[in-house]
Structures are given as C-alpha cells and as structure tokens.
Amino acid sequence: MNTPRLEIRNIVKQFAGRRVVDDVDLTVMPGQVTCLLGPSGCGKSTTLRIIAGVEMQDSGTIHVDGELVCDTVTRKPPEDRSIGLMFQDFALFPHLTVRQNVAFGLAGRDRDQRVAGLLAKVGMSRYRDDYPHQLSGGEQQRVALARALAPRPKIMLMDEPFSGLDDRLRDDIRDETLDVLKSEGTAVLLVTHEPGEAMRMADEIALMRDGRIVQRGAPYNIYNAPTDLDAASFFSDIN
C-alpha cells in the first residue's frame, strides 16, 4: 500500500458553538487530485486552513506523507508541513520580478536551474525579468503556480484558484495547471464550489455539505449516482 500524501482524520472545528467542520476525513494519494466540492459556506476553506496550519482544529489528526504534523498535542508550523498553497488571491510579491518571486525562499545549488525549469514548464520564461503588475491575471496565475511548486511540496492545497479568471481563460488555465501538477507528480487537494471544475480536474471527489463529507468517489460515479436529492440538484447545474 502506498502512503497517502495527505490524510486527515476526524477533524472538528467549531465557531461560536457551531460545528463548521464536523468530523471530516480526507485522503489524497500520491499523484492524485482530490476535490473537496460543496456549496458556499459548507466549510471547505476552513478545512484547508486547518490543514495548512493557519487555523487550529478542535480535534482530529493531520498526516503528511505518513508523518504526524498536527493533533491536539503536536503542532508543526505551516512552513514545516511540506505543503504548497494557492488561493484565488495569489498575491505575488509586487516588488520582485517573476524569477525572484519563484526563487523566493529557495536555497541550494540547483536553485537557478529549478526556477528556470519551472518557468519553462508554465510557459513564462520570457517574462522572467518582468514585475507582477506587467502581467495579465492568467500570467500571474502561472507564476504563482511555479512559485508554489518551487520548494517541492508533498501536497498542494488550492482554494478556488481559478475563480478570479475570466471565463475564456479559465478552461485553458485549468488544463495547463493540471498538466504541470501531474508532470511534477504533486498530489493536490482542490477546493471548489463548481461541480464542472471538480469533474474536469479530480481523480476523486469528496462532496461536502454543512461541515460533513456526504459522499466520495470517482467523478462519474458521483455524477451518475448522487447520494441524495441535494447532491443530485447540486450537480444538475454543471457548466
């Protein structure tokens, strides 16, 4: 058996006495994309923030590549979890060039090679000396992907990373992003409220509602056999 890149068990988080994350289990296997899919407000971002280490769970465990990174006793800081992050507001450093953004925080002899290789992969080599404000939204997104991948995280967490892009670009960027992630062999936990995005990108979907995982499985299994009427209607407005 392969060790999961990410395994969370029995994660609970309350705000003001309300269970926003209610006993959630998730597993992401090496090289796979797992989508956490559900309507706005169901607890997706809170779950991701807990995994990233910027929010503390009330109970439950988080393992990255078989290693305990967080339970109620142990708590590794975010930078020691081998986790990459991409959010909608991907915020490159405005005062650094494309190349400097991707190199930020990297050390070691192979740094320049790593940066050049990633910029080639995301198709941004010729913009290497530009500043973020000189780039379009899609180009900034590509640089953000390269930056997030640079330290070779074991798992990439992505929270609605494509929702800020305009419709014409979105499909292309999704496909490109998936190609780059697969070629790097990076496991991904992708949060989205769009069933179409999950269908397109996921190897496995975990459907979330009111803080709970209500169904999980391969995209077409969930699409073809939703667990209840709510799940069915959620998938009916796929685009």
The binding site for ligand ADP (CB under 6 A) comprises 15, 20, 38, 40-46
Calculate the alpha carbon distances from 91 to 133, 145, 174 in Å: 11, 11, 18
Count of other CB atoms within 10 angstroms of residue 28? 27
Question: Which of Mg ion, ligand ADP, none has residue 41 at its interface (CB below 5 to 8 Å by kind)?
Answer: ligand ADP
What string of H, E and C letters represents the secondary structure of 74-127?
CECCHHHCCEEEEECCCCCCCCCCHHHHHHCCCCCCCHHHHHHHHHHHCCCHHH
Cα 119 to Cα 149: distance, rounded to the nearest angstrom: 11
Question: Which of ligand ADP, Mg ion, none has residue 32 at its interface (CB below 5 to 8 Å by kind)?
Answer: none
Q: How many residues bind Mg ion (CB under 5 A)?
A: 1
Q: Which residue is nearest to Mg ion (CB)?
A: 45
> Which residue in the set 9, 14, 20, 45 belongs to the binding site for Mg ion (CB under 5 A)?
45
Range in contact with Mg ion (rule: CB under 5 A) among 44-52, 75-83, 105-113, 196-204: 44-52
When the beta carbons of 45 and 215 are compared against Mg ion, the nearer one is 45
Least distance between ligand ADP and beta carbon 234 (Å): 13
Per-residue binding letters, 2-41, with Mg ion (x by CB under 5 A): ----------------------------------------
Which amino acid is present at 139? E
Question: Which of Mg ion, ligand ADP, none has residue 46 at its interface (CB below 5 to 8 Å by kind)?
Answer: ligand ADP
Cα 192 to Cα 4: distance, rounded to the nearest angstrom: 21
When the beta carbons of 84 and 161 are compared against Mg ion, the nearer one is 161
Least distance between ligand ADP and beta carbon 119 (Å): 31
When the beta carbons of 150 and 208 are compared against Mg ion, the nearer one is 208
When the beta carbons of 40 and 183 are compared against ligand ADP, the nearer one is 40
Query: Where along the sequence are the contacts to Mg ion (CB under 5 A)?
Result: 45
